[in-house]
Chains A and B, each alone.
Chain A
Amino acid sequence: MKPALMLMLGAAAVTAAHAQSPDTSLPDRQAQLPSSPKLEGQEYLIPRPLDSIPQGTFGDKVRLGYQLFVNTQQLRGKYVGNELNCVNCHMDAGRKPNASPIWGAFFAYPAYRKKNDKVNSFEERIQGCFTYSMNGKAPPSGSPELVAMSAYAYWLGMGGLMDQYGVAGEVPELADAELLKGGKREDFPAPDAIKTVLTVDARANLPGRGYPAIPKPEMPYDPSRGALVYQAHCQSCHGADGQGQAMAGVYALPPLWGPQSFNWGAGMHRVNTAAFFISENMPLGKSVQLTPQQAWDVAAFINAKERPQDPRFEGNLDATKSRYHKHDGYYGTSQDGVLLGKEAFPVFPAAK
Protein backbone atom coordinates (compact mmCIF):
# COMPACT_ATOMS: atom_id res chain seq x y z
CA MET A 1 0.00 0.00 0.00
CA LYS A 2 2.69 2.42 1.08
CA PRO A 3 4.97 1.90 -1.91
CA ALA A 4 1.95 2.18 -4.19
CA LEU A 5 0.99 5.49 -2.61
CA MET A 6 4.51 6.76 -3.02
CA LEU A 7 4.46 5.68 -6.61
CA MET A 8 1.23 7.56 -7.13
CA LEU A 9 2.60 10.66 -5.44
CA GLY A 10 5.71 10.31 -7.52
CA ALA A 11 3.64 10.11 -10.67
CA ALA A 12 1.67 13.15 -9.59
CA ALA A 13 4.91 15.04 -9.01
CA VAL A 14 6.18 14.08 -12.46
CA THR A 15 2.90 15.18 -14.00
CA ALA A 16 3.04 18.46 -12.12
CA ALA A 17 6.59 19.07 -13.29
CA HIS A 18 5.57 18.19 -16.80
CA ALA A 19 2.65 20.60 -16.61
CA GLN A 20 5.25 23.34 -16.20
CA SER A 21 6.40 22.72 -19.72
CA PRO A 22 8.15 25.54 -21.55
CA ASP A 23 4.79 26.59 -22.95
CA THR A 24 3.40 27.65 -19.60
CA SER A 25 6.55 28.80 -17.80
CA LEU A 26 8.38 32.02 -18.54
CA PRO A 27 10.34 31.36 -21.72
CA ASP A 28 13.93 32.32 -22.36
CA ARG A 29 13.58 35.27 -24.66
CA GLN A 30 17.20 36.23 -24.43
CA ALA A 31 18.55 33.03 -25.93
CA GLN A 32 21.34 33.84 -28.32
CA LEU A 33 21.07 34.03 -32.05
CA PRO A 34 24.46 33.62 -33.67
CA SER A 35 25.85 37.08 -34.35
CA SER A 36 27.03 38.18 -37.74
CA PRO A 37 30.80 37.64 -38.04
CA LYS A 38 32.98 40.71 -38.41
CA LEU A 39 34.81 40.61 -41.71
CA GLU A 40 37.49 42.86 -43.12
CA GLY A 41 36.14 45.61 -45.35
CA GLN A 42 32.46 44.71 -44.99
CA GLU A 43 29.88 47.43 -45.44
CA TYR A 44 27.32 48.13 -42.80
CA LEU A 45 23.81 49.40 -43.17
CA ILE A 46 23.71 53.13 -42.50
CA PRO A 47 20.42 54.25 -40.93
CA ARG A 48 18.98 57.55 -42.07
CA PRO A 49 19.52 60.56 -39.80
CA LEU A 50 16.81 61.14 -37.22
CA ASP A 51 15.80 64.48 -38.75
CA SER A 52 14.53 62.58 -41.79
CA ILE A 53 11.85 60.79 -39.74
CA PRO A 54 8.63 61.82 -41.50
CA GLN A 55 5.92 63.95 -39.95
CA GLY A 56 2.62 62.26 -39.13
CA THR A 57 1.41 59.42 -36.92
CA PHE A 58 3.84 56.82 -38.25
CA GLY A 59 6.76 59.21 -37.77
CA ASP A 60 5.49 59.94 -34.27
CA LYS A 61 5.75 56.24 -33.41
CA VAL A 62 9.31 56.15 -34.74
CA ARG A 63 10.26 59.23 -32.70
CA LEU A 64 8.69 57.79 -29.57
CA GLY A 65 10.69 54.60 -30.16
CA TYR A 66 13.91 56.64 -30.21
CA GLN A 67 12.92 58.51 -27.06
CA LEU A 68 12.12 55.30 -25.18
CA PHE A 69 15.41 53.84 -26.37
CA VAL A 70 17.62 56.61 -24.96
CA ASN A 71 15.46 57.44 -21.95
CA THR A 72 13.96 54.12 -20.93
CA GLN A 73 13.80 55.45 -17.39
CA GLN A 74 10.56 57.22 -18.29
CA LEU A 75 9.06 53.71 -17.85
CA ARG A 76 10.61 53.24 -14.42
CA GLY A 77 8.16 51.53 -12.08
CA LYS A 78 5.83 50.75 -14.97
CA TYR A 79 7.96 48.37 -17.02
CA VAL A 80 11.51 49.10 -15.82
CA GLY A 81 12.94 47.97 -12.48
CA ASN A 82 16.57 49.10 -12.64
CA GLU A 83 18.65 52.13 -13.64
CA LEU A 84 19.44 51.01 -17.19
CA ASN A 85 18.46 52.46 -20.55
CA CYS A 86 18.41 50.50 -23.84
CA VAL A 87 21.21 52.70 -25.17
CA ASN A 88 23.59 51.37 -22.49
CA CYS A 89 24.08 48.15 -24.45
CA HIS A 90 22.92 49.24 -27.92
CA MET A 91 25.28 52.10 -28.69
CA ASP A 92 24.22 55.13 -30.69
CA ALA A 93 20.57 54.55 -29.79
CA GLY A 94 20.55 51.14 -31.45
CA ARG A 95 22.12 52.33 -34.67
CA LYS A 96 25.73 51.25 -34.29
CA PRO A 97 26.85 48.06 -36.06
CA ASN A 98 28.44 45.37 -33.87
CA ALA A 99 26.60 46.80 -30.86
CA SER A 100 23.44 44.74 -31.38
CA PRO A 101 21.82 47.35 -33.62
CA ILE A 102 18.06 47.08 -33.52
CA TRP A 103 17.87 47.38 -37.31
CA GLY A 104 19.71 44.05 -37.37
CA ALA A 105 17.43 42.52 -34.76
CA PHE A 106 14.27 43.66 -36.54
CA PHE A 107 15.04 41.55 -39.60
CA ALA A 108 16.10 38.56 -37.46
CA TYR A 109 12.61 38.05 -36.02
CA PRO A 110 10.30 36.19 -35.90
CA ALA A 111 12.83 33.52 -34.94
CA TYR A 112 12.36 29.92 -33.98
CA ARG A 113 13.87 29.08 -30.64
CA LYS A 114 14.76 25.54 -29.70
CA LYS A 115 14.61 26.38 -26.02
CA ASN A 116 10.89 27.08 -25.81
CA ASP A 117 10.04 25.30 -29.06
CA LYS A 118 8.20 28.35 -30.25
CA VAL A 119 8.44 31.07 -32.81
CA ASN A 120 9.24 34.40 -31.14
CA SER A 121 8.12 37.63 -32.70
CA PHE A 122 10.09 40.86 -32.56
CA GLU A 123 7.65 42.19 -29.98
CA GLU A 124 8.28 39.16 -27.76
CA ARG A 125 12.02 39.73 -28.05
CA ILE A 126 11.61 43.29 -26.78
CA GLN A 127 9.36 42.01 -24.00
CA GLY A 128 12.27 39.76 -23.03
CA CYS A 129 14.51 42.82 -22.74
CA PHE A 130 12.10 44.36 -20.23
CA THR A 131 11.76 41.14 -18.22
CA TYR A 132 15.48 40.45 -18.02
CA SER A 133 17.80 43.28 -19.06
CA MET A 134 15.58 45.97 -17.51
CA ASN A 135 14.66 43.74 -14.53
CA GLY A 136 11.10 44.90 -15.04
CA LYS A 137 7.77 43.80 -16.40
CA ALA A 138 7.07 43.22 -20.07
CA PRO A 139 4.76 45.79 -21.65
CA PRO A 140 1.61 43.99 -22.86
CA SER A 141 1.47 42.72 -26.41
CA GLY A 142 0.53 45.47 -28.82
CA SER A 143 1.16 48.24 -26.28
CA PRO A 144 2.16 51.68 -27.60
CA GLU A 145 5.69 51.23 -26.23
CA LEU A 146 6.27 47.98 -28.14
CA VAL A 147 4.75 49.44 -31.30
CA ALA A 148 6.99 52.51 -31.01
CA MET A 149 10.19 50.54 -30.47
CA SER A 150 9.32 48.20 -33.34
CA ALA A 151 8.54 51.17 -35.59
CA TYR A 152 11.88 52.77 -34.73
CA ALA A 153 13.76 49.52 -35.45
CA TYR A 154 11.92 49.00 -38.74
CA TRP A 155 12.41 52.60 -39.88
CA LEU A 156 16.15 52.47 -39.18
CA GLY A 157 16.54 49.15 -40.98
CA MET A 158 14.30 49.70 -43.97
CA GLY A 159 15.61 53.23 -44.60
CA GLY A 160 19.16 51.93 -44.53
CA LEU A 161 18.38 49.06 -46.92
CA MET A 162 16.52 51.39 -49.29
CA ASP A 163 19.51 53.73 -49.46
CA GLN A 164 21.86 50.78 -49.93
CA TYR A 165 19.83 49.33 -52.82
CA GLY A 166 18.85 52.56 -54.50
CA VAL A 167 15.18 52.70 -53.53
CA ALA A 168 14.12 56.33 -53.32
CA GLY A 169 11.42 57.84 -51.16
CA GLU A 170 10.06 57.55 -47.65
CA VAL A 171 10.14 54.27 -45.75
CA PRO A 172 6.72 52.64 -46.43
CA GLU A 173 4.42 52.89 -43.45
CA LEU A 174 3.42 49.60 -41.89
CA ALA A 175 0.49 48.57 -39.71
CA ASP A 176 1.25 47.99 -36.03
CA ALA A 177 0.64 44.24 -36.35
CA GLU A 178 3.25 43.99 -39.12
CA LEU A 179 5.78 45.95 -37.08
CA LEU A 180 5.34 43.78 -34.00
CA LYS A 181 5.97 40.54 -35.89
CA GLY A 182 9.36 41.59 -37.23
CA GLY A 183 10.91 41.34 -40.70
CA LYS A 184 12.15 37.74 -41.02
CA ARG A 185 9.31 36.26 -43.04
CA GLU A 186 8.49 35.65 -46.67
CA ASP A 187 5.32 37.72 -46.48
CA PHE A 188 7.08 40.76 -45.04
CA PRO A 189 6.33 43.80 -47.21
CA ALA A 190 9.60 45.05 -48.68
CA PRO A 191 10.36 46.84 -51.96
CA ASP A 192 11.07 44.42 -54.82
CA ALA A 193 14.50 45.94 -55.38
CA ILE A 194 15.45 44.69 -51.92
CA LYS A 195 13.53 41.40 -51.99
CA THR A 196 15.20 40.25 -55.20
CA VAL A 197 18.73 40.92 -53.90
CA LEU A 198 18.40 39.92 -50.28
CA THR A 199 16.79 36.65 -49.23
CA VAL A 200 14.91 36.59 -45.94
CA ASP A 201 17.86 34.74 -44.39
CA ALA A 202 20.38 37.25 -45.72
CA ARG A 203 18.29 40.08 -44.27
CA ALA A 204 18.26 38.25 -40.96
CA ASN A 205 22.07 38.18 -40.91
CA LEU A 206 23.00 41.69 -41.92
CA PRO A 207 26.67 42.55 -41.32
CA GLY A 208 27.06 44.14 -37.90
CA ARG A 209 24.12 42.33 -36.29
CA GLY A 210 24.65 41.31 -32.65
CA TYR A 211 28.00 41.53 -30.91
CA PRO A 212 30.65 39.83 -33.03
CA ALA A 213 32.26 36.77 -31.46
CA ILE A 214 35.87 37.02 -30.34
CA PRO A 215 38.32 34.12 -30.07
CA LYS A 216 38.22 31.92 -26.99
CA PRO A 217 40.73 33.07 -24.37
CA GLU A 218 44.10 31.33 -24.28
CA MET A 219 43.74 30.71 -20.55
CA PRO A 220 40.33 29.87 -19.00
CA TYR A 221 38.61 33.15 -18.12
CA ASP A 222 39.11 34.21 -14.52
CA PRO A 223 37.31 36.85 -12.41
CA SER A 224 40.38 37.58 -10.31
CA ARG A 225 42.46 38.49 -13.36
CA GLY A 226 39.40 40.40 -14.58
CA ALA A 227 39.43 42.52 -11.43
CA LEU A 228 42.75 44.00 -12.51
CA VAL A 229 41.42 44.77 -15.99
CA TYR A 230 38.39 46.39 -14.37
CA GLN A 231 40.51 48.62 -12.16
CA ALA A 232 42.68 49.72 -15.05
CA HIS A 233 40.06 50.30 -17.73
CA CYS A 234 36.50 50.32 -16.38
CA GLN A 235 36.20 51.74 -12.91
CA SER A 236 36.91 55.37 -13.78
CA CYS A 237 33.45 55.42 -15.39
CA HIS A 238 31.55 52.55 -13.74
CA GLY A 239 32.98 53.09 -10.26
CA ALA A 240 35.09 50.89 -8.00
CA ASP A 241 31.82 49.41 -6.71
CA GLY A 242 30.42 48.86 -10.23
CA GLN A 243 27.41 51.02 -9.48
CA GLY A 244 27.98 53.56 -12.25
CA GLN A 245 27.55 57.28 -11.85
CA ALA A 246 24.29 59.22 -11.62
CA MET A 247 24.04 62.85 -12.71
CA ALA A 248 20.71 64.67 -12.29
CA GLY A 249 19.26 61.25 -11.51
CA VAL A 250 20.39 59.73 -14.82
CA TYR A 251 22.82 56.82 -14.87
CA ALA A 252 24.39 57.51 -18.25
CA LEU A 253 27.30 55.44 -16.94
CA PRO A 254 25.35 52.34 -15.94
CA PRO A 255 25.59 50.03 -12.91
CA LEU A 256 27.12 46.71 -13.95
CA TRP A 257 26.01 44.52 -11.06
CA GLY A 258 23.90 44.78 -7.92
CA PRO A 259 20.19 45.65 -7.55
CA GLN A 260 20.13 48.37 -10.24
CA SER A 261 21.64 46.30 -13.05
CA PHE A 262 20.33 43.55 -15.38
CA ASN A 263 19.10 40.34 -13.78
CA TRP A 264 20.26 36.73 -13.88
CA GLY A 265 18.11 36.02 -16.92
CA ALA A 266 19.57 38.77 -19.12
CA GLY A 267 21.76 37.80 -22.03
CA MET A 268 24.51 40.07 -20.71
CA HIS A 269 25.03 37.87 -17.62
CA ARG A 270 26.58 35.29 -19.93
CA VAL A 271 30.34 35.67 -19.89
CA ASN A 272 30.64 35.19 -23.65
CA THR A 273 27.99 37.80 -24.51
CA ALA A 274 29.54 40.34 -22.15
CA ALA A 275 33.03 39.60 -23.47
CA PHE A 276 31.87 40.15 -27.06
CA PHE A 277 30.11 43.37 -26.13
CA ILE A 278 33.03 44.72 -24.13
CA SER A 279 35.64 43.85 -26.74
CA GLU A 280 33.78 45.70 -29.46
CA ASN A 281 32.35 48.64 -27.54
CA MET A 282 34.41 49.47 -24.46
CA PRO A 283 35.95 51.76 -23.37
CA LEU A 284 33.30 54.00 -24.86
CA GLY A 285 34.29 55.48 -28.21
CA LYS A 286 37.55 53.54 -28.44
CA SER A 287 36.53 49.99 -29.40
CA VAL A 288 38.71 46.87 -29.43
CA GLN A 289 41.26 48.12 -26.95
CA LEU A 290 41.41 45.01 -24.79
CA THR A 291 42.96 41.69 -25.75
CA PRO A 292 40.46 38.83 -26.07
CA GLN A 293 41.85 37.43 -22.82
CA GLN A 294 41.26 40.73 -21.02
CA ALA A 295 37.72 41.00 -22.41
CA TRP A 296 36.82 37.48 -21.25
CA ASP A 297 38.42 38.00 -17.84
CA VAL A 298 36.71 41.31 -17.13
CA ALA A 299 33.37 39.92 -18.38
CA ALA A 300 33.85 37.10 -15.87
CA PHE A 301 34.66 39.58 -13.08
CA ILE A 302 31.50 41.63 -13.72
CA ASN A 303 29.27 38.57 -14.00
CA ALA A 304 30.63 36.75 -10.95
CA LYS A 305 28.78 39.19 -8.68
CA GLU A 306 25.25 39.18 -7.29
CA ARG A 307 22.46 40.83 -9.25
CA PRO A 308 18.64 40.63 -9.36
CA GLN A 309 17.15 37.13 -9.39
CA ASP A 310 16.36 35.16 -12.53
CA PRO A 311 12.62 35.81 -13.06
CA ARG A 312 12.21 32.07 -13.84
CA PHE A 313 13.39 31.17 -10.32
CA GLU A 314 10.65 29.28 -8.48
CA GLY A 315 12.37 28.75 -5.14
CA ASN A 316 14.95 26.15 -6.06
CA LEU A 317 18.32 27.51 -7.10
CA ASP A 318 19.61 24.16 -8.39
CA ALA A 319 16.50 23.63 -10.48
CA THR A 320 16.75 27.09 -12.07
CA LYS A 321 20.44 26.60 -12.62
CA SER A 322 20.15 23.20 -14.29
CA ARG A 323 17.18 24.23 -16.39
CA TYR A 324 18.24 27.67 -17.61
CA HIS A 325 21.94 28.15 -16.93
CA LYS A 326 23.81 25.59 -19.00
CA HIS A 327 26.10 28.23 -20.44
CA ASP A 328 29.06 30.46 -19.55
CA GLY A 329 27.87 32.09 -16.35
CA TYR A 330 28.17 32.12 -12.59
CA TYR A 331 24.56 31.68 -11.45
CA GLY A 332 24.37 29.07 -8.71
CA THR A 333 28.14 28.98 -8.23
CA SER A 334 30.16 30.00 -5.17
CA GLN A 335 32.28 33.12 -5.56
CA ASP A 336 34.29 34.44 -2.64
CA GLY A 337 32.19 32.31 -0.31
CA VAL A 338 28.88 33.61 -1.70
CA LEU A 339 26.45 31.30 -3.49
CA LEU A 340 25.29 33.51 -6.36
CA GLY A 341 21.54 33.53 -6.82
CA LYS A 342 20.87 32.59 -3.20
CA GLU A 343 20.62 36.17 -1.94
CA ALA A 344 19.80 37.68 -5.31
CA PHE A 345 18.16 41.10 -5.40
CA PRO A 346 14.41 41.30 -6.12
CA VAL A 347 12.94 41.13 -9.59
CA PHE A 348 11.06 44.30 -10.58
CA PRO A 349 11.24 45.89 -7.13
CA ALA A 350 8.23 47.95 -6.12
CA ALA A 351 10.22 51.08 -5.28
CA LYS A 352 13.59 52.55 -6.17
Chain B
Amino acid sequence: MTSKLIGALGLWLIATHGAQATTAPAMPPQAALCGSCHGSQGLGVEPLGPRLAGLSSEYIQKQIKDFQSSKRQNPTMRPMAMTLQGDALIAQVADYFAAQAVPSVSIQRRGEEVTFQDSAERLAYQGDWSRELPACVTCHGPSGIGAGTFPRLAGQQASYLKSQLLAWQSGTRQGDSDGMMANVANKLSAAEIDAIAHYFANLK
Protein backbone atom coordinates (compact mmCIF):
# COMPACT_ATOMS: atom_id res chain seq x y z
CA MET B 1 0.00 0.00 0.00
CA THR B 2 2.63 2.49 1.09
CA SER B 3 5.05 1.45 -1.64
CA LYS B 4 2.27 1.82 -4.24
CA LEU B 5 1.59 5.30 -2.99
CA ILE B 6 5.26 6.20 -3.14
CA GLY B 7 5.45 4.70 -6.61
CA ALA B 8 2.47 6.72 -7.80
CA LEU B 9 3.90 9.86 -6.24
CA GLY B 10 7.17 9.17 -8.01
CA LEU B 11 5.45 8.80 -11.36
CA TRP B 12 3.54 12.00 -10.79
CA LEU B 13 6.78 13.84 -9.94
CA ILE B 14 8.51 12.49 -13.04
CA ALA B 15 5.54 13.42 -15.20
CA THR B 16 5.25 16.98 -13.92
CA HIS B 17 9.01 17.53 -13.84
CA GLY B 18 9.30 16.20 -17.38
CA ALA B 19 6.53 18.50 -18.53
CA GLN B 20 8.24 21.51 -16.96
CA ALA B 21 11.55 20.63 -18.54
CA THR B 22 10.12 20.52 -22.06
CA THR B 23 7.92 23.60 -21.82
CA ALA B 24 9.72 26.85 -22.52
CA PRO B 25 8.76 29.84 -20.41
CA ALA B 26 5.73 31.79 -21.63
CA MET B 27 6.54 34.74 -23.83
CA PRO B 28 6.77 37.91 -21.76
CA PRO B 29 4.65 40.70 -23.33
CA GLN B 30 7.73 42.84 -23.97
CA ALA B 31 9.26 40.06 -26.07
CA ALA B 32 6.47 40.30 -28.63
CA LEU B 33 8.13 43.33 -30.22
CA CYS B 34 11.42 41.38 -30.54
CA GLY B 35 9.50 38.52 -32.11
CA SER B 36 8.35 40.69 -34.99
CA CYS B 37 11.86 40.68 -36.45
CA HIS B 38 13.52 37.74 -34.70
CA GLY B 39 10.53 35.39 -34.92
CA SER B 40 8.28 34.56 -32.00
CA GLN B 41 10.44 31.48 -31.29
CA GLY B 42 13.61 33.50 -31.88
CA LEU B 43 14.56 31.50 -34.97
CA GLY B 44 15.34 34.66 -36.91
CA VAL B 45 13.82 36.28 -39.99
CA GLU B 46 16.43 36.97 -42.63
CA PRO B 47 17.26 39.77 -43.32
CA LEU B 48 15.24 41.47 -40.57
CA GLY B 49 16.73 39.89 -37.50
CA PRO B 50 19.24 37.18 -36.63
CA ARG B 51 18.47 33.98 -34.75
CA LEU B 52 18.31 34.37 -30.98
CA ALA B 53 17.48 30.76 -30.13
CA GLY B 54 20.68 28.93 -29.23
CA LEU B 55 22.27 32.01 -27.65
CA SER B 56 22.71 32.06 -23.87
CA SER B 57 20.62 34.39 -21.74
CA GLU B 58 23.87 35.89 -20.46
CA TYR B 59 24.93 36.77 -23.99
CA ILE B 60 21.54 38.20 -25.03
CA GLN B 61 21.37 40.35 -21.91
CA LYS B 62 24.80 41.78 -22.59
CA GLN B 63 23.90 42.56 -26.21
CA ILE B 64 20.73 44.41 -25.20
CA LYS B 65 22.80 46.52 -22.83
CA ASP B 66 25.50 47.05 -25.45
CA PHE B 67 22.84 48.34 -27.89
CA GLN B 68 21.54 50.67 -25.19
CA SER B 69 25.01 52.06 -24.50
CA SER B 70 25.91 52.14 -28.23
CA LYS B 71 28.85 49.78 -27.83
CA ARG B 72 26.92 48.08 -30.60
CA GLN B 73 25.83 50.79 -32.99
CA ASN B 74 22.66 49.88 -34.79
CA PRO B 75 19.95 52.41 -35.71
CA THR B 76 17.18 49.82 -35.51
CA MET B 77 18.24 47.94 -32.44
CA ARG B 78 19.04 50.92 -30.23
CA PRO B 79 15.43 52.17 -29.94
CA MET B 80 14.19 48.58 -29.66
CA ALA B 81 16.60 47.83 -26.84
CA MET B 82 15.57 51.05 -25.10
CA THR B 83 12.07 49.66 -24.67
CA LEU B 84 13.54 47.13 -22.23
CA GLN B 85 14.46 49.06 -19.12
CA GLY B 86 15.85 47.43 -15.99
CA ASP B 87 17.90 44.30 -15.40
CA ALA B 88 14.90 42.20 -14.41
CA LEU B 89 12.97 42.84 -17.61
CA ILE B 90 16.06 42.38 -19.79
CA ALA B 91 16.74 39.05 -18.08
CA GLN B 92 13.12 37.94 -18.52
CA VAL B 93 13.14 38.58 -22.27
CA ALA B 94 16.62 37.08 -22.69
CA ASP B 95 15.63 33.98 -20.72
CA TYR B 96 12.65 33.48 -23.00
CA PHE B 97 14.64 33.51 -26.22
CA ALA B 98 17.56 31.54 -24.73
CA ALA B 99 15.09 28.77 -23.81
CA GLN B 100 13.82 28.30 -27.37
CA ALA B 101 14.77 25.14 -29.21
CA VAL B 102 17.32 25.37 -31.98
CA PRO B 103 17.98 22.86 -34.78
CA SER B 104 20.69 20.49 -33.63
CA VAL B 105 24.07 20.36 -35.32
CA SER B 106 26.37 17.36 -35.52
CA ILE B 107 29.45 18.14 -33.49
CA GLN B 108 32.87 17.98 -35.08
CA ARG B 109 35.65 17.97 -32.50
CA ARG B 110 39.09 19.38 -33.09
CA GLY B 111 41.44 16.74 -34.43
CA GLU B 112 38.75 14.66 -36.12
CA GLU B 113 40.10 16.08 -39.36
CA VAL B 114 43.80 16.75 -39.88
CA THR B 115 43.54 18.45 -43.26
CA PHE B 116 40.76 20.49 -44.85
CA GLN B 117 39.75 21.07 -48.45
CA ASP B 118 37.64 24.04 -47.39
CA SER B 119 39.86 26.93 -46.31
CA ALA B 120 37.06 28.42 -44.18
CA GLU B 121 36.76 25.16 -42.28
CA ARG B 122 40.53 25.13 -41.81
CA LEU B 123 40.41 28.63 -40.34
CA ALA B 124 37.56 27.56 -38.07
CA TYR B 125 39.46 24.53 -36.75
CA GLN B 126 43.13 25.50 -36.97
CA GLY B 127 43.24 29.27 -37.34
CA ASP B 128 46.26 30.77 -39.06
CA TRP B 129 48.96 31.38 -36.52
CA SER B 130 51.29 32.95 -39.06
CA ARG B 131 48.87 35.86 -38.54
CA GLU B 132 48.32 35.13 -34.82
CA LEU B 133 44.80 34.09 -35.74
CA PRO B 134 43.36 31.52 -33.34
CA ALA B 135 40.87 28.88 -34.47
CA CYS B 136 37.23 30.08 -34.21
CA VAL B 137 36.29 26.91 -32.30
CA THR B 138 38.69 27.75 -29.47
CA CYS B 139 36.20 30.26 -28.09
CA HIS B 140 32.97 29.42 -29.94
CA GLY B 141 33.23 25.69 -29.25
CA PRO B 142 33.19 22.62 -31.50
CA SER B 143 31.09 23.33 -34.62
CA GLY B 144 30.62 26.86 -33.26
CA ILE B 145 27.86 25.84 -30.84
CA GLY B 146 28.79 28.58 -28.37
CA ALA B 147 28.07 28.95 -24.65
CA GLY B 148 28.10 31.72 -22.06
CA THR B 149 29.35 34.97 -23.52
CA PHE B 150 30.46 33.25 -26.75
CA PRO B 151 27.59 33.28 -29.25
CA ARG B 152 26.53 30.24 -31.23
CA LEU B 153 27.65 30.50 -34.85
CA ALA B 154 26.26 27.19 -36.10
CA GLY B 155 23.11 27.81 -38.10
CA GLN B 156 23.20 31.59 -37.71
CA GLN B 157 22.33 33.59 -40.82
CA ALA B 158 25.32 34.08 -43.13
CA SER B 159 24.33 37.68 -43.85
CA TYR B 160 24.30 38.43 -40.13
CA LEU B 161 27.63 36.71 -39.40
CA LYS B 162 29.17 38.67 -42.25
CA SER B 163 27.72 42.00 -41.16
CA GLN B 164 29.01 41.43 -37.63
CA LEU B 165 32.56 40.59 -38.68
CA LEU B 166 32.49 43.79 -40.75
CA ALA B 167 31.10 45.69 -37.77
CA TRP B 168 33.97 44.47 -35.58
CA GLN B 169 36.37 45.63 -38.28
CA SER B 170 34.82 49.09 -38.61
CA GLY B 171 34.44 49.53 -34.86
CA THR B 172 30.64 49.91 -34.93
CA ARG B 173 30.52 46.79 -32.78
CA GLN B 174 32.52 46.79 -29.55
CA GLY B 175 32.15 45.45 -26.06
CA ASP B 176 34.45 42.45 -26.34
CA SER B 177 36.96 41.80 -23.58
CA ASP B 178 40.40 43.21 -24.42
CA GLY B 179 39.32 43.77 -28.03
CA MET B 180 39.75 40.05 -28.65
CA MET B 181 37.08 39.71 -31.33
CA ALA B 182 38.03 42.93 -33.07
CA ASN B 183 41.62 41.67 -33.15
CA VAL B 184 40.48 38.49 -34.88
CA ALA B 185 38.11 40.24 -37.31
CA ASN B 186 40.73 42.77 -38.32
CA LYS B 187 43.00 40.00 -39.59
CA LEU B 188 40.37 38.52 -41.90
CA SER B 189 40.08 39.43 -45.57
CA ALA B 190 36.71 40.22 -47.15
CA ALA B 191 36.76 36.87 -48.93
CA GLU B 192 37.54 35.02 -45.69
CA ILE B 193 34.70 36.78 -43.89
CA ASP B 194 32.31 35.75 -46.60
CA ALA B 195 33.53 32.15 -46.58
CA ILE B 196 33.50 31.78 -42.79
CA ALA B 197 30.02 33.31 -42.53
CA HIS B 198 28.69 30.76 -45.00
CA TYR B 199 30.60 27.90 -43.42
CA PHE B 200 29.02 28.37 -39.99
CA ALA B 201 25.59 29.28 -41.38
CA ASN B 202 25.44 26.02 -43.30
CA LEU B 203 26.52 23.67 -40.50
CA LYS B 204 23.94 21.00 -39.83
Q: Which of A's residues lie within 8 Å of B, judged by CB?
A: 46, 50-51, 53, 63, 66-71, 74, 85, 87, 91-93, 95-96, 233, 236-237, 245-248, 250, 252-253, 283-287, 289
Minimum CB–CB distance from B71 to chain A (whole Å) comes to: 14
Minimum CB–CB distance from A75 to chain B (whole Å) comes to: 12
Give the contacting residue for A248; candidates B141, B148, B149; CB below 8 A.
B141
Task: Collect the chain B residues with CB atoms within 8 Å of residue A250's CB.
Answer: 109-110, 141-142
Known: A50-B126, A91-B134, A237-B177. 9 other contacts (CB 8 A): A50-B114, A63-B114, A67-B111, A233-B178, A248-B145, A252-B110, A285-B132, A285-B133, A285-B134
Cβ–Cβ contact B150 & A284, under 8 A: no
Task: Collect the chain B residues with CB atoms within 8 Å of residue A289's CB.
Answer: 178
> Which residue of B has the minimal Cβ distance to A92?
B129
Give the contacting residue for B139; candidates A63, A237, A248; CB below 8 A.
A237
Q: Does B44 contact A (CB under 8 A)?
A: no
In the assembled complex, the Cα of A103 lies from the Cα of B177 at a distance in Å of: 32
Interface string of B100-115 (1 = CB under 8 A from A): 0000000101111011
Task: Collect the chain A residues with CB atoms within 8 Å of residue B137's CB.
Answer: 252
Minimum CB–CB distance from B56 to chain A (whole Å) comes to: 11
Q: Does B127 contact A (CB under 8 A)?
A: yes
In the assembled complex, the Cα of A108 lies from the Cα of B109 at a distance in Å of: 31
Cβ–Cβ contact A96 & B143, under 8 A: no
* A285-B141 contact given A66-B114, A93-B126, A247-B146, CB 8 Å threshold: no
Interface string of B117-134 (1 = CB under 8 A from A): 000000000110110111
Minimum CB–CB distance from B182 to chain A (whole Å) comes to: 10
- Sample (18) of A-B pairs whose CB atoms are under 8 Å apart: A46-B130, A66-B114, A67-B112, A71-B110, A91-B129, A233-B177, A233-B178, A236-B178, A245-B147, A246-B147, A247-B142, A248-B107, A248-B109, A248-B145, A284-B138, A285-B133, A285-B184, A286-B132
Q: Does B172 contact A (CB under 8 A)?
A: no
Minimum CB–CB distance from B26 to chain A (whole Å) comes to: 28
Minimum CB–CB distance from A277 to chain B (whole Å) comes to: 15
Task: Collect the chain B residues with CB atoms within 8 Å of residue A246's CB.
Answer: 147
Q: Which of B's residues lie within 8 Å of A, judged by CB?
A: 107, 109-112, 114-116, 126-127, 129-130, 132-134, 137-143, 145-150, 177-180, 183-184
Task: Collect the chain B residues with CB atoms within 8 Å of residue A283's CB.
Answer: 177-178, 180
Minimum CB–CB distance from A52 to chain B (whole Å) comes to: 9
Task: Collect the chain A residues with CB atoms within 8 Å of residue B180's CB.
Answer: 236, 283-286
Cβ–Cβ contact A245 & B148, under 8 A: yes
In the assembled complex, the Cα of A284 lies from the Cα of B140 at a distance in Å of: 13
Please provide the 4 A-B residue pairs with the shortest distance between their CB atoms, ordered closest to farther.
Answer: A247-B141, A71-B111, A236-B177, A92-B129
Cβ–Cβ contact A287 & B114, under 8 A: no
Minimum CB–CB distance from A254 to chain B (whole Å) comes to: 10
> Which residue of A has the minimal Cβ distance to B141?
A247
Cβ–Cβ contact B110 & A248, under 8 A: no
In the assembled complex, the Cα of A63 lies from the Cα of B114 at a distance in Å of: 7
In the assembled complex, the Cα of A61 lies from the Cα of B23 at a distance in Å of: 49
> Which residue of B has the minimal Cβ distance to A62?
B114
Cβ–Cβ contact A253 & B111, under 8 A: no
Task: Collect the chain B residues with CB atoms within 8 Å of residue A233's CB.
Answer: 177-178
Cβ–Cβ contact B127 & A245, under 8 A: no
> Which residue of A has the minimal Cβ distance to B152?
A247
Task: Collect the chain A residues with CB atoms within 8 Å of residue B138's CB.
Answer: 252-253, 284
> Which residue of B has the minimal Cβ distance to A286?
B183
